[in-house]
Amino acid sequence: MVELTKTGIDGLDEILNGGIVSHSTTLLSGPPGAGKSILGLQYIYNGIEQFDEPGVYLSFEEDTTDLREAAESLGFDNWQHHVDAGDIKIYDKQVLLREHDFNASLEILLEELDNNDYRRLVLDSLSMFGLFFDEERERRTYLLKFLDILGENGLTSLMTTEQEAGYPEKDINMENFLTDGNIYLLQTPTESGVNRYIWVAKMRKKNVQTDIFPMEIDTGGITVYENASAFSMLNEDDSPL
Ligand SMILES: Nc1ncnc2c1ncn2[C@@H]1O[C@H](COP(=O)(O)OP(=O)(O)OP(=O)(O)O)[C@@H](O)[C@H]1O
Ligand SMILES: [Mg+2]
């Protein structure tokens, strides 16, 4: 039996047939505003609230205050309490770039992961992380090393990236192959706002439901509608891809 880590997100664990494979890394892709950071926040928050699993949030995009405000706007009222207690550890841009050499910061981070009992990690975003390397080859080598260390330390990780979902004829980035799972968030504009969808395209070692499911973002965070007919706004000629 493969060990699973539940996201605690309504509907998502169901379409994952129980959760994400533990000690693996999943790439979470989608365009701006699709909900990647929110899914990451919710994964870390639920981890400690529901499953007693401490987590790390690495943010190159938002700082600690932005994250707190985003979490509280979603009704994650105990966010700051968990941060203060050390059960949610945030490394934001300022912290990650404190050393003059990015590699030195990463070494410190990896050591901290080694010395603590974190179970979940979010890297937001892998696109930004990549910008710190001059050469593609160096970036790839480092990413592989990083993925290994995360798994060895028992962490189940999500990494966000800004790529959009595409069919195989479009270019698929190397990150999609290096990671164990691929989840895409999609959105289509409507007259009154936006329709949101989620697609679990791959989960190594695991059978998942690979249909595209509707989802919503509201107070409480993301809800995935496993039964598409329950999603009243869905209409037929409105393909998410
Ligand atoms: N408290 C909230 N209630 C309802 N919807 C919200 C709330 N907070 C954010 N949203 C919606 O979620 C969207 C942003 O999601 P998120 O920040 O996770 O996107 P993202 O995929 O990380 O985007 P980016 O690539 O720009 O970082 C917003 O555009 C907004 O529509
Ligand atoms: Mg974001």
Residue 40 in contact with ligand 1 by CB distance below 6 A: no
pLDDT tens digits for range 114-160:
899 999 999 999 988 888 888 989 888 888 989 999 999 999 999 99
Residue 30 in contact with ligand 1 by CB distance below 6 A: yes
pLDDT value at position 65?
96
Neighbours of ion ligand 2 (CB under 5 A): 37
Q: Name the burial class of residue 152, with classes exposed (0-12), middle (13-18) and buried (19+) by CB atoms within 10 angstroms of its CB.
A: exposed
Ligand number with the minimum distance to the CA of 30: 1
Residue 38 in contact with ligand 1 by CB distance below 6 A: yes
pLDDT value at position 99?
75
Ligand number with the minimum distance to the CA of 28: 1
Residue 73 in contact with ligand 1 by CB distance below 6 A: yes
Give CA angle at 69 (231, 74), nearest 5°: 20
Q: Which atom of ligand 1 is nearest to the CA of 35?
A: 18
Ligand number with the minimum distance to the CA of 124: 2
Write a three-state SS string for the chain. CCCEECCCCCCHHHHCCCCEECCCEEEEECCCCCCHHHHHHHHHHHHHHHHCCCEEEEECCCCHHHHHHHHHHCCCCCHHHHHHHCCEEEEEHHHHCCCCCHHHHHHHHHHHHHHCCCCEEEEECHHHHHCCCCCHHHHHHHHHHHHHHHHHCCCEEEEEECCCCCCCCCCCCHHHHHCCEEEEEEEEECCCCEEEEEEEEEECCCCCCCCEEEEEEECCEEEECCCHHHCCCCCCCCCCC
pLDDT value at position 169?
45
Claim: this prediction has a pTM higher than 0.75: yes
- Pairing label, strands 25-29, 181-189: parallel
**CA–CA gap between residue 37 and residue 28 (Å, rounded):** 9
Residue tagged 């509608």 (tokens): 225
pLDDT value at position 174?
75
Residue minimizing CA distance to atom 11 of ligand 1 = 217
Residue 37 in contact with ligand 1 by CB distance below 6 A: yes
Q: With beta carbons less than 8 A apart as the criterion, state whether 41 and 57 touch.
A: yes
Which domains does the chain carry? 4-228 (3.40.50.300)
Low-confidence ranges of the chain (pLDDT < 70): 166-172, 228-241
pLDDT value at position 167?
53
pLDDT tens digits for range 201-221:
999 888 999 899 999 999 999
